[in-house]
Amino acid sequence: MCAEFDSLVDVLRSNGVVTYVFEGRAQRDAPDEVFPNNWVSTHADGTVVLYPMMAGNRRHERRSELFKTIDSDTDYHTTRMIDLTAHEKHHRYLEGTGSLVLDRINRIAYANLSPRTHLDALEDFSKQLGYEIVSFEATDDQEQPIYHTNVLMSVGTGFAVICSETIKARTKRARVLESLRSSGREVIEVRRQQLTDFPANLLELVTPDGPAIALSSRAWGSLDKKQRGALARHGRIITSTIPTIERMGGGSVRCMLAEIHLPH
């Protein structure tokens, strides 16, 4: 897993993506530290949000002190920290940008309700950060709840990738699609049977040469010609091969990236 992680870092940096890596705590019971997006998000006004996690061993991953390092050692700065972790006491979870797919331009948070995404925690996020919530329930091909929203959808500046057929209620599905389209984005549909290859688990990034889109080699390989063409219109495609992380961790490239939206 370490080699796959390092390979992704190398690929991002070689494509001009400014990438910060912080050493883990080397705890034997923290195998999911490669997925920092579940415990933290940053925002353009300098806000840092800490999130309530369902798995007890994952709560050790939260490291608010890292932002002191970011303040002192980078050009970014933070202004406040919102701590939502008290929801854990009541078994209410909201696992960062795994649970939340954010349209930061229009301040809309898309969220698939599941054991890891609780409505009360979601409403707390909405109240404190001023986001409109578009929530729904989605299931996989076994009719089981899809654990994270970013498995079935992603939102970029001019596009959205989504497996809308997983959204159970037709009215909810229509609302999600209308919200995406009314924002002016091209909606790129993927099929339910593709989801095991993580085609929606991707992230738009900034490079000196313009926007790029990062996803795994497996995810890119699962897309058909039309889907690839649509996605490539919105940014240079960056891929990395991470089969062990995907198989053992249940997440892909987007989960491995906690994007920085802090002000300079």
pLDDT digits 0-9 by tens, 4-56: 999 999 999 999 999 999 987 755 577 899 999 999 999 999 999 999 999 99
| Class for the domain spanning 2-21+31-256 | alpha beta
Query: What pLDDT is attached to residue 209?
Result: 96
* Res 66: pLDDT: 94
Give the DSSP per-residue string, 8-33: HHHHHHHTT-----------TT-TTT
pTM of the model: 0.97
Low pLDDT (below 50) residues in the chain:
none
Q: What is the pLDDT at residue 160?
A: 99
